[in-house]
Amino acid sequence: MTTPTETIQEFMTVFASAWATKDAARVASYFSDNAVYHNIPMDPVEGRDPIAATVSGFMAMGGQVSSSRRATAAPALAESASARGVSTGSC
């Protein structure tokens, strides 16, 4: 059985890899059909297909994504992602 920490690690790895190839469907495959994706300050997006479209819009803007791991005092693993690039419009 996969632990929540392993799932997060896998998602972060896939997200960074999929970003490089602009594979929004691969990212969206980690979301359920009724998932809600909220990238603040944008409005929440509900559903796998709309999430894929939103992520695809971000990918079209270009830039890079990286993932890093940090140990915390708690037994949980802290994951973070950063995106760098220039936005030339909205998606």
Give me the CATH topology for the region 4-84. Nuclear Transport Factor 2; Chain: A, (3.10.450)
Q: Where are the domains of the chain?
A: 4-84
Residue range 1-18: mean pLDDT, rounded: 84
Residue range 6-16: mean pLDDT, rounded: 84
* Gap between the Cα atoms of 6 and 11, Å rounded: 9
Is the pLDDT confidence value at 68 over 80? no
Q: What are the beta bridge partners of residue 83?
A: 65
- Identify the H or E element spanning 78: strand 77-84
Looking up tokens 């929540």, which residue turns up? 4
pLDDT value, residue 2:
80
pTM of the model: 0.66
Residue range 8-12: mean pLDDT, rounded: 83
CB 75 within 8 A of CB 51: no
